Amino acid sequence: MPVKGSPENYDRFDKVDESLNLFNKMIQKCPKPSIVEFTKLLGATVRMKHYAAVVYMCSQMDFVGVPHDAYSLSVLINCFCQLGQTDFGFSVLGKMIKIGVEPSAVTFSTLINGLCKQRKISQAASLFDGMVEKGYQPHLITYSTILNGLCKTGDTRRAVRFLRMMEARGFKPDIVVYNTVIDCLCKCGLLKEALDLFSEVKVKDNRPNIITFSCLIHAIILIDAFCKDGLIFQAVDTIHTMRKQGLEPNVVTYTTLVDAYCKKGMVFEAKDIVDKMRKQGIQPDVVMYNILVDAYCKKGMVSEAEDIVDTMRKQSIEPNVVTYSILADAHCKKGMISLKLKASSTQ
């Protein structure tokens, strides 16, 4: 949540204030500006993420008799969806049909997105089927939205079927779509299927990108953590393969490795990765350092952990709430241990 009084918030406030001022001028004008002009303003306000303001403006437009069209009403639907009130979005759709404004593929995609955000995937899927039946052409990203919803709710099987269906309908999935499914398969522990899809991506002229690789590396490491020791080397090997393909690992890729070593209690190996990374000119971030700080604390090396926090500051990476929580937690636990020791020594 935004903090009241933060500078960027005031900045934002000024801008919404401006759009509301402009809006008031527009509705007072005698020949009213066209709906296109209003929609431009609505769009600008949406970009500032002030959805409630847009809802207000739309109702005022109704009040003064500015006629809505498919564009302005789609904006309104989007605002309800963003506010988590997809059902109101559907009422707007009903109103659209009632007043004879033809919804477009964008209108339906907006509602589908809203449903997916609320994890109502089956409703999203039937709306999707409905729009196709009525002859509206969904875009690649409409497919992607549904697919993402299926993956997020853990419906991996259906996600794979959906991927095949979109291919059958002549949509060429892009790397983002493949990454979504590959990650989903990885998270379900279906590494073999993920790797199969991965080689399929290579065969088609879609090049795997850094995200594709990071998903696979993360999956290999998870398997290592849960059942098969020694797979970290395979993960490192995958990084080499990545490099050969001209993809340089980034902080995220390395964080996966650092996390893996830390979970095994191999903090020095983890620290080593951070150092090597820096030598390559890749800046670690708070996330990565927090993992390292946590691992040191868990080993009882609290002062070493604090040294790392100092190093962070020297590299002008500011520790965040998570960093301080880790340290505070470590100090508490340490305190408990010394208390226990005291207690046992007095007995």
Partner DNA sequence: CTAGGGTTAG
Residues that bind DNA (CB under 7 A): 34-36, 39-40, 42-43, 46, 69-72, 74-75, 78, 82, 104-107, 109-110, 113, 138-142, 144-145, 148, 173-177, 179-180, 183, 209-211, 214-215, 218, 251-253, 255-256, 259, 285-288, 290-291, 320, 322
For the CB of residue 270, give the shortest distance to DNA in the complex, in Å. 13
Could you tell me the smallest distance in angstroms from the CB atom of residue 309 to DNA?
Answer: 13
Cα dist from 342 to 50, 198, 331, 338, whole Å: 57, 57, 16, 6
Shortest Cβ 225–DNA spacing (Å): 10
Q: Write down the least CB distance from residue 21 to DNA, Å.
A: 20
Would you say 140 or 301 has its CB closer to DNA? 140
The distance of closest approach from Cβ of residue 30 to DNA in the complex, given in angstroms and rounded to an integer, is: 20
64 or 342: CB nearest DNA: 64
> In this complex, which beta carbon is closest to DNA, that of residue 285 or of residue 307?
285
- Distance of closest approach, residue 169 Cβ to DNA, in angstroms: 14
Using the minimum distance from each CB to DNA, give the nearer residue, 36 or 52.
36
In whole angstroms, give the CA distance from residue 80 to residue 341: 58
Q: Which is nearer to DNA, 145 or 156 (CB)?
A: 145
Nearer to DNA, 275 or 338 (CB): 275
